[in-house]
Structure 1
Amino acid sequence: MAKPNAKGPVRTVQIFCAKCKFQLLKYRKGGKGALVKCFKERIVEDFTVDEGICPSCSVQFARNAMIRGAPALKIVGGKVQMK
């Protein structure tokens, strides 16, 4: 299978917890669709302590996955908002 684009997209989005509005990640997102997965190599800043868990309200917003041969965070539907 093909790997994600090595250079990566230029647009940076901020990802917030939907429950408590705590900023979780800064991520270089490609495309204009919904946020379904976050490739770990594209994460610019990570504000979490435990991977995939909000440090403020302890809600699990993502789980580890291998997507197209690259490590990623698979986002749980409705748990995050992006700006």
Structure 2
Amino acid sequence: MGTVKPQLGVKIGRQPWVKGRSIKHCLDMGHGRMSVEEKIDGEYCQIHVDPSKGDKCIQIFSKSGKDSTEDRVALHGPVQMIRYAYTN
């Protein structure tokens, strides 16, 4: 299989998750390998930033894969602040 590389503007699918019911259940499911993600209240989104697009550099995807860039306009300011902090 060839190398897979993420691309700006193309949502990356989320890893499938299975909720552990007990420690034994977790160990049985993991077969020696696992990853853990903390559950935090709020909404999931995936944010892509393409500096070459100027003012339209932000693209936001919802959990379902919908382009939510305009629906989540309140996130644009904080994302821009982080972007400028890392580029200046």
Report the TM-score when normalising by structure 1.
0.25
Does 1 or 2 have the higher relative contact order (CA < 8 Å, sep 6+)?
A: 1
Compare the two structures and name the one with the higher helix fraction. Answer: 2
Report the TM-score when normalising by structure 2.
0.24
